[in-house]
Amino acid sequence: MPVNIPKTDLKRIVIVGAGFGGLKLARELLYSNYQIVLIDKNNYHQFQPLFYQVATAGLEPSAISFPLRKVFQKKSNFYIRVAEVYSVDNDQKILHTSLGTVWYDYLVIATGVNSNFFGNTSIESNAVPMKSVSEAMMLRNRLLQNFEKAVTIADPEQVRPVLNVVVVGGGPTGVEVSGAIAEMKKFVLPKDYPELDFSQMEITLIEASDRLLASMSKQSSAKAIRYLKKLGVKVVTNNLVTAYDGETVWLGDGTQIKSKTLIWAAGIKGDYPNGFSPEITGRGNRLKVDAYNRVESYPDVFAIGDVALMATEKYPNGHPQVAQVAIQQGKNLALNFVAMNQGIRLIPFKYIDRGSMATIGRNRAVVDLPFWSFGGLTAWMIWMFIHLMAIVGVKNRLLIFINWLWNYITYDQSLRLILKVSGGKADKKEPVSV
C-alpha cells in the first residue's frame, strides 16, 4: 500500500537517511522547485561524534539528538516519514518501507554505515558497538551494571574481569572512548565505589595496524598514544582480536584478556537497502558513484556520505568516511538538483579537507590542519568549539556547554543512570532513550 504523501506536479526527491549528508541536502533543497520526502528509521538526527560521551555518562542522549520535525517546521513541499527502508525497485522507481511503498523521481541514499565484524560471529554476539544513540546507552548500562556487580564480589580475581574494559579499534572513536573511560576511572568511579580498588581495572585499546589514528599525521598518532598512556590506558598495536565469548578476549598472538566488556570500534561497512546489483558495490560495501554522486548504472539514484564510494586520483579508495565529506556532498548535490531543474551544467564534487581532530580526555586533543599539526590544551579547546557549533539546535548547544563546564569544574558527571526498557514484550537489553 502506498504511503500517504500529497500528490504534486513537482518532481519528487526522496532522501533516505537523516545523518549529516541527508540533513544537509534536505535543508539546502527547502526552497527548490521539488517535493522533498525525508525518510529515516528515527524521528531525530543523531550527532555521532559525541556518542562516546553518552556512553561514558558525560552527556544525555537528548543533548546530541534533535527532532527532525523541529528542523523542518512550516516548510512547504517537505515531508518526513519515520520508517525503515527495506528495498528499492529501480525499474518501477519505488521504495518498499515498513509503512508501505513510496515512489520517487530521484532517490538519494544517505544511510551511512554500520559496524563491520568481518564475519566474526563470536565478537558480533558479545561485543558492544557504538553506531547509534541506543547502542551508546547500551554501553553506558553495561559499564554501570558491571561496577554495581563488582561491589558484590569478594574475590579480587573475580572482580578484575568485571572491571576490565577492552576497546578494539584505534580510530577517533576508539581513542576517544578509551580516554573518557580512563578519566572516569581516575576522577569519578573511586568516589562512587569507594569499596572497589580501581588499580585492578585495566583499559586496553587494541589496534590491528602499527599506529593509532591512521588517517591523521604520525605526529598526532604519537601524541595520542602518549596522552592515553598518561591516563593509564594500555595500548596494543599490530595485533588482532580473533574471538570474544563475553568472558575472554583472544588476540592473534595468543594473548588472552579477561573482560566482561568489549567495545567494538574497529570496522564499518556501508548500510543501504536491497535492490542494487552487486557490481556497483565497492570496498567497504559502499555504492560506487560518479563525480556527481550518481550511483553507477542508476541515473536517477544518488548516494552521499559514508555509503558512497567516489574514486578519485587523490582518493582511489573513496573519500574519508567523516562528517565533512557527507556535508560537502550534500551541499554539492543540492546545487546539482537545482542545476538539473534549470537545465544547466552540473558541478563535479571536490572535497575540501579542512583537517581532522580527536580528543583524548581533559586538556588533551590532537588536531591536523592542512598546514599544521598540534595537540594539547589549544587543540582540546578547538575540538570543543567546533563540535559545539556543529550541534543542531541552540538549546542542545547550551545543554552540552553546561554539561562540559560542570564536568570540567567538578571533575564529575551527573548522568550515571542505568535506564532500561521494562514491561510487555520489550527487549530487556535495549536501553530507553531519554
Q: What is the pLDDT of residue 394?
A: 83
Residue 434 pLDDT exceeds 90: no
**Spatial distance between the Cα atoms of 177 and 164, rounded to a whole number of angstroms:** 14
What the block records as the C-alpha cell of 280 is: 556497483
Domain holding 26: CATH number?
3.50.50.60
Check whether residue 140 and residue 235 sit in a common domain.
yes
Question: For residue 141, is it within any domain?
Answer: yes
Residue 371 pLDDT exceeds 90: no
- Domain-terminating residue out of 311, 342, 373: 342
Domain holding 393: CATH number?
3.50.50.100
**DSSP reduced 3-state for 151:** coil
Check whether residue 402 and residue 326 sit in a common domain.
no
Residue 291 pLDDT exceeds 80: yes
Task: Look over the chain and give the mean of its residue pLDDT values, rounded to a whole number.
Answer: 93
| Average pLDDT score over residue span 196-222 | 95
Structural domain range at position 190 = 121-266+362-410
**Spatial distance between the Cα atoms of 317 and 54, rounded to a whole number of angstroms:** 32
Q: What is the pLDDT of residue 421?
A: 60
Check whether residue 244 and residue 128 sit in a common domain.
yes
What the block records as the C-alpha cell of 49 is: 561524534
pLDDT tens sequence across 24-61: 999 999 989 999 999 999 999 999 999 999 999 989 99
Residue 428 pLDDT exceeds 70: no
What is the pLDDT confidence band of residue 427, given thresholds at 50, 70 and 90?
A: very low
Check whether residue 149 and residue 277 sit in a common domain.
no
Check whether residue 284 and residue 253 sit in a common domain.
no
**Spatial distance between the Cα atoms of 168 and 244, rounded to a whole number of angstroms:** 11
Q: What is the pLDDT of residue 431?
A: 45
**Spatial distance between the Cα atoms of 399 and 405, rounded to a whole number of angstroms:** 10
Check whether residue 92 and residue 157 sit in a common domain.
no
**Spatial distance between the Cα atoms of 349 and 432, rounded to a whole number of angstroms:** 39
Check whether residue 189 and residue 321 sit in a common domain.
no
Q: What is the pLDDT of residue 266?
A: 93
Domain tally for the chain? 2
Check whether residue 231 and residue 145 sit in a common domain.
yes
Residue 19 pLDDT exceeds 90: yes
Check whether residue 109 and residue 131 sit in a common domain.
no
Q: Which residues contact 254 (CB under 8 A, 6 or more apart)?
A: none
Q: What is the pLDDT of residue 272?
A: 96
Q: What is the pLDDT of residue 231?
A: 96
Question: For residue 65, is it within any domain?
Answer: no
Question: For residue 6, is it within any domain?
Answer: no
Question: For residue 355, is it within any domain?
Answer: no
Say whether pTM exceeds 0.85: yes
Question: For residue 323, is it within any domain?
Answer: yes
pLDDT tens sequence across 294-333: 999 999 999 999 999 999 999 999 999 999 999 999 999 9
Question: For residue 33, is it within any domain?
Answer: yes
pLDDT tens sequence across 216-270: 999 999 999 999 999 999 999 999 999 999 999 999 999 999 999 999 999 899 9
Residue 425 pLDDT exceeds 50: no
Residue 195 pLDDT exceeds 90: yes
| Average pLDDT score over residue span 330-346 | 96
Q: Tally Cβ neighbours within 10 Å of residue 297.
A: 12
Q: What is the pLDDT of residue 422?
A: 58
| Average pLDDT score over residue span 184-193 | 94
Query: Residues of the chain with pLDDT > 90: what percent?
Result: 86
Residue 97 pLDDT exceeds 60: yes
Residue 200 pLDDT exceeds 70: yes
Check whether residue 132 and residue 232 sit in a common domain.
yes
Check whether residue 128 and residue 174 sit in a common domain.
yes
Question: For residue 418, is it within any domain?
Answer: no
Question: For residue 290, is it within any domain?
Answer: yes
**Contacts for 84-87 with beta carbons within 8 Å, 24 or more apart?**
84/41, 85/16, 85/39, 85/111, 85/273, 86/273, 86/274, 87/273, 87/274, 87/275
Check whether residue 125 and residue 210 sit in a common domain.
yes
